[in-house]
Amino acid sequence: RTVYVNGEYLPENEARVSVFDRGFLMADGVYEVTSVLDGKLVDFDGHAVRLDRSLSELSMRAPVTRDELLQIHRELVARNDLTDGLVYLQITRGAPADRDFAFPDPDEVPPTIVLFTQSKPGLADAPAAKTGIKVISIDDIRWGRRDIKTVQLLYPSMGKMMAKAKGCDDAWMVEDGYVTEGTSNNAYIVKDGRIVTRPKSNDILHGITRAAVLRYAAEAQMEVDERPFTLEEAKAADEAFVTSASTFVMPVVEIDGTPVGTGAPGPVAARLREIYLEESRKAAI
């Protein structure tokens, strides 16, 4: 596989990053995951806009322009013959001479930028979309700036492991009784035909897939309420689902062992998935 590191395209086993990189030492960095369908990037602009916001919230500079970023994404897709899969992008605060809590001067220490691809044949036809996934609930003990897409992913990783230990696929995080989001996706329920999802705030990541799905739902005249919902409401809902760049719209059929609705993927999630995939393929670049 060919990867990109700080201006160079290299075989993955020749790519190098400093042991002093603050991404490695302090999780001081941000990332994006953009899906690739039929060799094209889904919602590249959305991811680029969010990346700029994450960087600016952390007083970091973008090491490349948006056009260059697009070219790098395309070059990696081409060099790796990627049809379906994803492009992972990470920008960290670089490698100062010594480990220190204070941010280094950006004029002296440039950020580190790394991109690589992951092939996922049949990404849009994941079997889980037909069966739905099972989630557990866990306390949301993450920090208070979940709107910044940082590489601090230890708690979400632990959440996935807790789910796995219970024979489930993922975890929904709960704060003050209300569902925030999934470990790597935004959470939704459907009740009496209305789609409910938590509004954007510092409590959740502002999903690029979420924005697109809410736009398509409005265009299709579906009713959407952006408001927090409780875990109890979710268990009593007609349907539940999650969205993310790598899973698109994924039905949730069980929460903490309680079947949601009929216990099978529901019509609203199925319809949104279909619309999302169709529109995303059309708009992909």
Catalytic positions, please? Answer: 149
In the 8-state DSSP scheme, what is residue 15?
A: -
Q: Give which of 273, 255, 244, 250 is closest to 33, Cα–Cα.
A: 244
Among 186, 203, 265, 275, binds ligand PLP (CB under 6 A): 186
User: Is 137 an interacting residue with respect to ligand PLP (CB under 6 A)?
Assistant: no
Q: Give which of 116, 91, 109 is closest to 29, Cα–Cα.
A: 91
Among 90, 185, 197, 280, binds ligand PLP (CB under 6 A): 185
The CB-of-268 to ligand PLP minimum distance in angstroms stands at: 18
Among 209, 229, 234, 273, binds ligand PLP (CB under 6 A): 209
Contact 255, 135 (CB under 8 A): yes
Using the contact rule CB under 6 A, the part of the chain among 9-17, 120-128, 177-185, 224-232 near ligand PLP is 177-185
Given the complex with ligand PLP, which of 48 and 222 has the nearer CB atom?
Answer: 48
Q: In the block, which residue shows the tokens 């409910």?
A: 196
Given the complex with ligand PLP, which of 46 and 265 has the nearer CB atom?
Answer: 46
Amino acid at 265: P
Among 184, 198, 240, 249, binds ligand PLP (CB under 6 A): 184
In this structure, what are the phi and psi dihedrals at residue 180, rounded to the nearest 5 degrees?
A: -85, -70
The bridge status of strand 112-119 relative to strand 178-182 is: unpaired
Using the contact rule CB under 6 A, the part of the chain among 101-109, 124-132, 202-210, 259-267 near ligand PLP is 202-210
User: Is 207 an interacting residue with respect to ligand PLP (CB under 6 A)?
Assistant: yes
With a CB cutoff of 8 Å and minimum separation 6, the contacts of 10 are 2, 3, 4
Given the complex with ligand PLP, which of 10 and 124 has the nearer CB atom?
Answer: 124
With a CB cutoff of 8 Å and minimum separation 6, the contacts of 124 are 37, 84, 248, 277
Contacts with ligand PLP, residue ranges (CB under 6 A): 33, 181, 184-186, 205, 207-210, 243-245
